[in-house]
Structure 1
Amino acid sequence: MSDDYANRSYGEIPVGFGKKPGIVVVDFQLGFTDPQYPLGGAPLVMRALDNTEQLLKVARRYNVPVAVCNTAYLNEREMPYWKITAVRETFRHDHPSAALDPRIHDPAYDLTVCKKGPSIFFNTGVSDYFTKERVDTVIVTGCNTSGCIRASSIDSFSYRYRTIVPEDCVGDIEQQPHKDNLRDLGRRYVDVSDLATVLAQIEDWHRQNAE
């Protein structure tokens, strides 16, 4: 079957892995990972949570910078015009679903921010932190692929980071939006990878810098 995007050179040039990685972990808060909440427990999100937990254990061992975020607001007045009832009703600072999932959060290690929009980079200071840490390659993990992962990946690209999205470390409510958005990101802005490949790249980076 013909691929008109490929015929027009989309996706021809890989991003590649640069000199130093950093990891962003987007919205693995209990509202998305605990099935007792309206948005919680989607199978793709839980798969991504498990794989990101594995990735972070290695990353922290090798002193890779990690930035973790949730999304929460004081009240509805502070919020953007979300079209999702569950977000308006539960993504509050005083609601238990706003807490980060402890499986991916190390408060003594991670830069922890609360974002107010879709992207972890928007008005949070994450890019300033990565600049100080001399990060040139951002590995994007979290949820949801079609929303905050897409927005964070595009902002990462816009900040001129090499951007890597491991497919099995991000998740969404449905498979098709997950696939479609990764396909489109991969055509333009990012390298779509997987946990095993990213772990191997981090191991190689650590080995080179330890010599």
Structure 2
Amino acid sequence: MSDIYAQRGYGDRPVGFGAKIGVVVVDFQRGFVGADFPMGGAPMVDQAVRNTVPVIEAAKRAGLPVIACVNGYDSPRAAPHWKVGAVFDLLRGSAAVDLDPRIAAAAPDVTLMKSAPSIFFATPAAAILNKERVDTVIVTGCITSGCVRASVIDAFSLGFRVMVPHDCVGDHDAEAHAQNLKDVERRYADVIDAAIAIEAIEQWRQSNDKS
């Protein structure tokens, strides 16, 4: 079947990497990853965590910024009008708001707590990346059809070049994952994989090695 979007010019030019890369890690927290939580236990999300750790490690070796976030609230009153009841249990200080241990061990430079889908909404994430002169953002995390998609759109809207490694993001549903990746690829981002992300980071490291 022909792609009616492609016929109209959607996705006809790549974004490409720019001058400096930053990595954002969206909601890889126990409440969305761990099988012992209502919203956790999705195999695709667990695999995305495993694939993201080497990307973080590569960025840290290169001296590039890594910003993680968790979704959480001081109280249920601080949460917006979610239609997902379990979100209201993501309270500051609870285990559900802890970073997945594998992500925590990789030691992101900054961990933010957000109250909306996007890592950029009402947080200092964009300001931190701007301070570091980042123009290209690699977006990892979960859930592809929710907070990842929102973060991609905000990164795009803020003027960043956006890269999404398909194997570093995950969803509860494979179809929703694929559809949302295809849609952001048409409009806002290049969809790559972890190996390409690491290669680009390593190329930046070699080009900027001052030793």
TM-score > 0.5 by shorter chain: yes
Q: Distance in 1 between matches of 2:29 and 2:2?
A: 41
Q: Distance in 1 between matches of 2:93 and 2:139?
A: 27
Q: Secondary structure at the match of 1:74?
A: coil
The number of residues matched between the two structures is 210
Long gaps (5+) in structure 2: none
Q: Counterpart of 2:135?
A: 136
In the TM superposition, residue 102 of structure 1 has moved relative to its aligned partner by 2.4
Q: Distance in 2 between matches of 1:47 and 1:15?
A: 26
Moved more, 181-190 or 68-77: 68-77
In the TM superposition, residue 160 of structure 1 has moved relative to its aligned partner by 0.5
Moved more, 188-197 or 91-100: 91-100
For the 8 Å contact 2:62–2:204, the answer to whether it is kept is: no
In the TM superposition, residue 164 of structure 1 has moved relative to its aligned partner by 0.1
Consecutive aligned runs of 4 or more in structure 1 exceeding 2 Å deviation: 105-109
Moved more, 29-38 or 98-107: 98-107
Long gaps (5+) in structure 1: none
Q: Distance in 1 between matches of 2:47 and 2:142?
A: 11
Q: Counterpart of 1:154?
A: 153
For the 8 Å contact 2:70–2:98, the answer to whether it is kept is: yes
Q: Counterpart of 2:178?
A: 179
Moved more, 96-105 or 4-13: 96-105
Q: Distance in 2 between matches of 1:209 and 1:172?
A: 35
In the TM superposition, residue 105 of structure 1 has moved relative to its aligned partner by 2.4
For the 8 Å contact 2:69–2:119, the answer to whether it is kept is: yes
Q: Distance in 2 between matches of 1:33 and 1:123?
A: 24
Q: Counterpart of 1:169?
A: 168
In the TM superposition, residue 190 of structure 1 has moved relative to its aligned partner by 0.2
Q: Distance in 2 between matches of 1:18 and 1:106?
A: 28
- Please report the RMSD computed on the Cα atoms of aligned residues, expressed in angstroms: 1.3
- Residue 19 of structure 2 is aligned to residue 6 of structure 1: no
Q: Counterpart of 1:210?
A: 209
For the 8 Å contact 1:68–1:105, the answer to whether it is kept is: no
Alpha-carbon distance change, 108 to 2 in structure 1, aligned in 2, over 3 angstroms: closer
Name the amino acid aligned to 2:99. Answer: L
Q: Counterpart of 2:35?
A: 35
